[in-house]
Amino acid sequence: MVCFFIPPHIAKRVAEADASFASGIRVDASLRSERADGVKVRGPIRVYSASNRTAIPGKLVTDNDDMADRVSSHAYAISQALDVSEFPDGVVRYGVGYANAFFNGSYLIFGEGDGQVFGDFTASLDIMAHEFGHALVALGPGLLYSGESGALNEHLADVFGVCVQQWTAQDQTDWRIGEEIMLDGVSAVRDMRNPGSAYDSPILGRDPQPGHMDQYQKIRGDNGGVHINSGIPNRAFALLCEKTGEPSWGRPLAMWRRAMQDLGPRSGFRNLATATCTHSGGLSSAVREAWSEVGISI
């Protein structure tokens, strides 16, 4: 399983405006056909440079390197926020103008961006935490990366991403993810509190994420809309934090992490909703309300 941060519907729109972007889409397509043998998580993170090639991992970085230093710094923040001590290794400078980041089961891999729409992907802490979240999901419930279970996979990765970001800032007002890589200075890749509002531009189009089951999109692309329909549980998580006043990285994150243990490869939104209610402690009423507001009754 290869889990990308930038979804194919965004990449396709950018490629229509800039033909040079199509090479990155071809790389993504070839990677989607690959399967990792198993998730590899080691001790403290090591960072490699692919030197603008696509051979992984490349050369181990031992000297000062801005991109590698950012990845190491992000790894430290993630370890503190999530209380973890082991990481997959990182790879920077993947490809030429490659505008994505992904976890391939062994490495957290970052491109430098195309310089037109997307900047350096190591600039965003929440992107790295999101990709690390995929490693945690793979080691836990192993959610299939397709349809509703795939959207749940993306949702859980987003939860880890935003919680690390908000813990680091000690601020729960920003529910956007990936805004640091957007060179227009306005857009983000997703908005967990308000799905569908992360971006709206001539190049990117309009954010298609729904925030309610009434708008769930049954599509063939994007592995059944995994990056699109994840907006529904994303909003439920943000609403829970809003209703309770609890910091995302506190009781809500702990609840979601315990709920993950009750999930299996084919679990869907309702399975997570039920599990979060089971592990809600004194927050069960708010949990039910949050899920109900996105069309999931438990």
Structural domain contains residue 298? no
Residues 186 and 259 in one domain: yes
Decide which of 78, 109, 139 is a domain's last residue. 139
> What is the mean predicted confidence (pLDDT) over 29-43?
56
User: Where residue 26 falls among pLDDT bands split at 50, 70, 90?
Assistant: low
Whether 104 and 134 have beta carbons less than 8 Å apart is answered as no
Residues 129 and 165 in one domain: no
Task: For residue 228, give the CATH number of its domain.
Answer: 1.10.390.10
Whether 243 and 290 have beta carbons less than 8 Å apart is answered as yes
Rounded to whole angstroms, how far apart are CA atoms 115 and 139? 34
Residue 35 confidence (pLDDT) above 50: no
Q: How many structural domains compose the chain?
A: 2
User: 182: Cβ–Cβ under 8 A, 6 or more apart, which residues?
Assistant: 117, 118, 119, 188, 189, 199
Token pair of 286 as six digits: 């708010």
Q: Which domain holds residue 227?
A: 147-293
**Residue 279 bears catalytic tag:** no
Rounded to whole angstroms, how far apart are CA atoms 232 and 145? 17
State percent of the chain over pLDDT 70: 91
Rounded to whole angstroms, how far apart are CA atoms 9 and 230? 14
Task: For residue 109, give the CATH number of its domain.
Answer: 3.10.170.10
**Residue 227 bears catalytic tag:** yes
User: Where residue 24 falls among pLDDT bands split at 50, 70, 90?
Assistant: low
Of the listed ranges 8-12, 68-72, 113-117, 132-136, the least confidently predicted one is 8-12
Under DSSP, is residue 102 helix (H, G, I), strand (E, B) or coil?
Answer: strand
Residues 287 and 153 in one domain: yes
Beta bridge partners of 177: 190
Q: What is the pLDDT of residue 187?
A: 98
* Residue with the larger pLDDT of the pair 214 and 20: 214
User: Where residue 3 falls among pLDDT bands split at 50, 70, 90?
Assistant: confident
Residues 130 and 93 in one domain: yes
Of the listed ranges 1-5, 68-72, 138-142, 266-270, the least confidently predicted one is 1-5
Decide which of 139, 172, 189 is a domain's last residue. 139
Q: What is the pLDDT of residue 33?
A: 46
* Residue with the larger pLDDT of the pair 40 and 63: 63
Residues 178 and 121 in one domain: no
Residues 158 and 258 in one domain: yes
Residues 251-284 have pLDDT tens digits of 999 999 999 999 999 999 999 999 999 999 989 9
Number of residues that make up the chain:
298
> What is the mean predicted confidence (pLDDT) over 2-29?
71
- Spot the catalytic one: 112, 227, 246, 279: 227
Q: What are phi and psi of 136, to 5 degrees?
A: -65, -40
Residues 154-193 have pLDDT tens digits of 999 999 999 999 999 999 999 999 999 999 999 999 999 9
Structural domain contains residue 171? yes
Residues 107 and 130 in one domain: yes
- Spot the catalytic one: 131, 154, 180, 246: 131
